[in-house]
Amino acid sequence: MVVCGALVVPPWSSVYTPQDLSNRLVALDFGNGTAYAGLQMLEGAVPHETMSMRSFDTSPAKRYAALMAGEFEATVLQEPWITVAEKAGCRLVSTTFFYGTWVADATLDADTYAAFVRASTTAVQRINADKRRYLPYFTREYQGYPEVEALTPDDFNLGRIQVKTPEPIPEAEARWDWEWMSSWGLLSGAFEATTQINATVQQAAHVLQ
Amino acid sequence: MTKTMVIEPVRAFNGLDVLVARDEGLFAAAGLDLQFARPQTNDLRSTAEGTLANPVTNQGRLLERGEARMFQG
């Protein structure tokens, strides 16, 4: 799965570019991939010493509500809250995509993972053939939220919904991610591919699927 | 022979393919009984409790307890 994350500011904000977020308070859900997507977007736009960040809730609904209440000047959102924010007049000052990576315990065998990959691959093909058909998946998770319930298929930008057939983890990308996380003090020690990636199971599963 | 695997729950933004595969019987067709683990209420901590240097995450908690075999990180 490819996840879209966007740095969002409210309609009345004077922020129009990610560079404008210098010394502006940005709320991120540290511990989740969306937070690190937000951190990378910020890092690419403003000097480290002018990055102003705070932790905020896991729920994008709560981050959106707090953004609109003025508790901070920007936050990172994922779908369907990016679409909710856009519909409310918020601006996306930066948008990015990142991979979700499956992490397995040591007991996972190649046959089981191959079955998982096989089913996921077919699902990806079906979704890519008709993304609109699957939009209700994004809204039904937020029943009781009027902003989400008010969304129609035409509100969504289908380009932000990206799925891709599962592939083996590229070692170079895994290494880069590790080193980036280490640069922020979130991991320690050197990246060891053999510790992080079970190449035997991974390769066998992708051959079997 | 059908194999059973329990994974941590996903949402549409990070697991649309998995949700569709489950609902459309694709895991079953692949010989896999895929189930979602059910977190307890006290498993769900808010990321607001963490910091950049010391983040809080719910991802992987059920795997660590042996209640799920995979999670999306």
What pLDDT sits at residue B29?
A: 97
- Give the whole-angstrom CA distance, residue B31 versus residue B4: 9
Which ipTM did the prediction report?
0.95
Greater model confidence, A101 or A45: A45
CA torsion A209→B1→B6→B10, rounded to 10°? 40
Q: What is the mean predicted confidence (pLDDT) over A130-135?
A: 98
Classify residue B72: in a domain, yes or no.
no
**Does residue A77 fall inside a structural domain?**
yes
Does position A16 have pLDDT exceeding 90, yes or no? yes
Residues of B in contact with A100 (CB under 8 A): 14-15, 72-73
* Predicted local confidence at residue B73, as pLDDT: 84
Q: Residue B14: is its pLDDT beyond 90?
A: yes
* Chains A, B: CB pairs < 8 Å: 147
In a domain, B49, yes or no: yes
Bigger pLDDT: A207 or A70? A70
- Residue B31 has a pLDDT of 97
Which range among A21-30, A185-194, B13-22, B36-45 shows the weakest confidence by mean pLDDT?
B36-45
Cβ contact A126–B56 (<8 Å): no
Task: Please name the member of B34, B48, B59 whose beta carbon is closest to the beta carbon of A57.
Answer: B48
**Is B73 among the domain residues?**
no
Answer whether residue A182 is part of any domain.
no
Mean pLDDT of A117-124: 97
Interface of B to A at Cβ within 8 Å reads 3, 5, 11-21, 24, 26-27, 29-32, 34, 44, 46-53, 55-60, 63, 66, 69-73
Chain A residue with CA closest to B27: the answer is A119
- A41-53: average pLDDT: 98
pLDDT at A183 over 80: yes
Which chain B residues contact residue A56 at CB under 8 A?
47-48
pLDDT at residue A1 in the model? 87
Taking all residues of chain A, what is their mean pLDDT, rounded to a whole number? Answer: 96
Residue A116 placed within a domain: no
Looking at the structure of chain A, the number of domains it has is 1
Q: Does residue A80 lie within any of the structural domains?
A: yes
CATH number for the domain including A21? 3.40.190.10
Task: Label residue B43 by pLDDT band (50, 70, 90).
Answer: confident
What are the tokens at A9?
């500011």
Does the beta-carbon distance from A1 to B72 stay under 8 Å?
Answer: yes
Segments forming the whole domain that contains residue A82 = 2-99
Judged against a pLDDT cut of 90, whether residue A179 lies above it is answered with yes
Residue B31 lies in a domain: yes
Ordered alpha helix ranges (H), A44-186: 60-68, 81-87, 110-129, 136-140, 146-149, 171-183
What is the percent of chain B with per-residue pLDDT over 90, rounded to a whole number?
Answer: 62
Contact: A137, B27; criterion CB under 8 Å: no
Confidence of residue B42 (pLDDT cuts 50, 70, 90): confident
Q: Which residue of B has its CA nearest to A27?
A: B48
Q: Is residue B42 assigned to a domain?
A: yes
Q: Give B16→chain A minimum CA distance, Å.
A: 7
Containing structural domain, residue B39: 3-64
- The pLDDT score that the predictor gives to residue A18 is 98
Predicted structure pTM score: 0.95
Residue B58 lies in a domain: yes
Is A38 a member of any domain?
Answer: yes
The phi, psi pair for A44, rounded to 5°, reads -80, -5
Q: How far apart are CA A72 and CA A87, in angstroms?
A: 20
Question: How many structural domains comprise chain B?
Answer: 1
